[in-house]
Amino acid sequence: MRLLIEPEHCTLIIEKYYREIFSYCYAKLGYSHHSAEDCTQEVFVVFFTKHERLDETDNIRLWLYRTADNVIKAFMRKSPPPAVSIEDSPEAMDIADSGGFAEDTDSPLDILDEEERQLLELYYDSDYGQRTAAAKKLGITLPALYRKVHKIKKKLRGVK
């Protein structure tokens, strides 16, 4: 059965997938907020231009990702990002290296609770493969582990 996409349906689809598609575009576009925002909007415009109707079985999410891939490719052809690697990206470096503290700071780890200290130790004392395994052991994914570590680092930056 094919259903016409009504404006209300359109709103639901946008609200449900907007964040996800924005994040995807952001990760693939060298962490450029504006580029990701433009591409995300374009993804939905393209999607609804091509899909006036949907089958009940249509995988909207997959369609959106596929459309996002195409939109990002087209965007990169038109205006390729200055650099893809994080180290070469000043924007990313500004964000990622905004913290740090001097050698003479007194026990910065004192402000962390036991669990936070353990997570930080886990992070610093292992490589990529070990971290992945450790995250699994903790019952979380690597991205989830990294989000926790990021929060801890932010906390430490606050006392630098």
Gyration radius of the chain over CA positions: 21
What tokens appear for 66 in the block?
A: 């596929």
Q: How far apart are CA 157 and CA 26, in angstroms?
A: 24
Site size toward another protein (CB under 8 A) is 62
What tokens appear for 17 in the block?
A: 């997938």
Task: Indicate whether 121 belongs to the interface with another protein (CB under 8 A).
Answer: yes
Task: Indicate whether 75 belongs to the interface with another protein (CB under 8 A).
Answer: no
- Report the greatest alpha carbon distance in the chain: 69
Q: How far apart are CA 61 and CA 79, in angstroms?
A: 26
Q: How far apart are CA 129 and CA 132, in angstroms?
A: 5
- Of 57 and 124, which CB lies nearer to another protein in the complex structure? 124
Identify the residue among 54, 76, 96, 134 touching another protein (CB under 8 A). 96
Identify the residue among 108, 116, 134, 138 touching another protein (CB under 8 A). 108
Per the document, the length of the chain is: 160
**Site residues (vs another protein, CB under 8 A):** 7-8, 10-11, 14-15, 18-20, 22-24, 26-28, 31, 33, 37, 40-41, 44-45, 48-49, 61-62, 65-66, 69, 86-87, 92-93, 95-97, 99-103, 108-109, 120-121, 124-125, 128, 131, 141-144, 146-147, 149-150, 153-154, 156-157, 160
